[in-house]
Amino acid sequence: MFLYLITFAVAIGFAFCSDLCQRQISIARRDLAGQDLRNAVTAAKIGRYVFIFCSAAVLILLSGLRYDTGVDYFYSYVPSLETVRAGSASHYDPLFNFIIACFARLQDNQWFFAAMALYTVGMIYYGICRRAEYIAIPVALYLVSFNYLRSFCFVAQYVALATFFVGFTALLKKKWIPAGLLIVLAVLLHQSAIIVVPFMLMYFLRTGWMTLISILLPILALLGQGAVRVIFVMFGSSTRFDYYFGSEYDMGYMDNTLILINFAVFAMFLFVYYMTQAYREHDRNLSFYMLAQSLALSFSLLQSVIPLGYRFVWFFMFLQCLSIPLFLKRMFSGAEYYVINTVVIVLFLVWMILYPLQGSSNVLPYHPIFDPMSSY
């Protein structure tokens, strides 16, 4: 874990430096004009892009240059590559099967994991930069909330999640066609991403309806667990996830920390939403973020009736790297804003260190490809 913490500190440090460059851009636009303005902005933008690249590159290299790290790496992805080389098909969803088939042509499995790390981290950084001028806090939340560590083990789902994330940011910018194409792409990569389709469509509801649904969903999740179970069995029995129904993975897992964290975040969002009278503004994006958090809490409550139900939580919980700073910004400003965000990040960090679950513990220890016999 010490190696990961050092890497996270370096990545966040580079992200913070990019924020300093963004700050210089804001100051230049306020105080300068003419050629001086253009020169200052150009220099600061170049610096910002370089620091963003360095921040992402640190994470890509650590993830992409690992050796035999993660339970899914061992029992699923490498055997899938070998299965394709033997002339059979892998068991994933259509687009991911195609990706595996392409990389199976190469003899070194490491190319597959390096490419997946490049795509996943690159897309996540791209999505963050599309929604936030200052990225240090979103990057920190991305790292300390298990998402980076989970992506080592759950490669296919996190490739789909990163694709959904960029589609989500495109939707907020009202880029309907790119958003739709990216969501289709995410579903083709991993069927679990189909859960985000109705969520994305709810963006077009009135903000009042979004707020009402956000409040009702957790209540319905508690009261309607039997009905949800029937629906998931009905639609999941004809897919590759049919294996999980009735197996050791069925109704046998409940991560109570997901419930506690998502309840706390949802309660904070509701408090901010009404204390700042955001409901009067009819802010569609703010209401949509609250709906996402409501779904994260609802699926946390449904873990006991959905096989591997915590995987659905991840899609919506991931958006907290953008939504938490956004909601806190409405309540706090200046130093207070950064102090509160730091407290939230530290709490997530403590959770990550003390409570590694859902495959995250299987990325420890770390084995680099240059010295696979060593452990870090």
pLDDT averaged over the chain? 85
Q: What is the mean pLDDT of residues 209-216?
A: 93
pLDDT category at 143 given cuts 50, 70, 90 is very high
pLDDT at 304: 77
pLDDT at 162: 96
**pLDDT of 71 over the 90 cut:** no
**pLDDT of 2 over the 80 cut:** no
The torsion angles phi and psi of 374, rounded to 5 degrees, stand at -90, 150
Q: What angle do CA 96, 101, 107 make, to 5 degrees?
A: 125
pLDDT tens-digit map of 263-284: 999 999 999 988 887 767 778 9
Q: Exposed, middle or buried, 32 (CB in 10 Å: 0-12/13-18/19+)?
A: middle
pLDDT at 247: 56
pLDDT category at 31 given cuts 50, 70, 90 is confident
Q: What is the mean pLDDT of residues 46-74?
A: 84
Q: Which one is predicted more confidently, 99 or 67?
A: 99
**pLDDT of 25 over the 80 cut:** yes
Percentage of residues of the chain with pLDDT beyond 70:
86
pLDDT at 230: 72
Q: What is the mean pLDDT of residues 327-340?
A: 91
pLDDT at 99: 92
pLDDT at 4: 82
Q: 255 in the Ramachandran plot: left (φ > 0), alpha (ψ -120 to 50) or beta?
A: beta
Q: What is the mean pLDDT of residues 109-117?
A: 89
pLDDT at 249: 56
pLDDT tens-digit map of 178-197: 999 999 999 999 988 999 99
**pLDDT of 64 over the 80 cut:** yes
Percentage of residues of the chain with pLDDT beyond 90:
47
Tell me the C-alpha distance between 376 and 366, whole Å.
5
**pLDDT of 176 over the 90 cut:** yes
pLDDT at 283: 82
Q: What angle do CA 125, 126, 127 make, to 5 degrees?
A: 90
CA-nearest of 146, 216, 159, 214 to 187 is 159
- Could you give the angle at which helices 136-144 and 320-331 cross, rounded to 10 degrees? 130
The answer to whether 359 and 72 are in contact (CB under 8 A) is yes
Lowest mean pLDDT among 41-45, 52-56, 88-92, 340-344: 88-92
**pLDDT of 35 over the 90 cut:** no
**pLDDT of 358 over the 60 cut:** no
Tell me the residue type at 108: D
Tell me the C-alpha distance between 249 and 243, whole Å.
9
pLDDT category at 309 given cuts 50, 70, 90 is confident
pLDDT at 150: 85
pLDDT at 21: 93
Q: What is the mean pLDDT of residues 124-132?
A: 95
Distances in whole angstroms, Cα of residue 227 to Cα of each of 26, 202, 247, 273, 296: 52, 21, 20, 31, 18
- Could you give the angle at which helices 207-223 and 256-275 cross, rounded to 10 degrees? 150
Q: What is the mean pLDDT of residues 303-315?
A: 81
**pLDDT of 237 over the 70 cut:** no
pLDDT at 371: 65
The number of residues in the chain equals 376
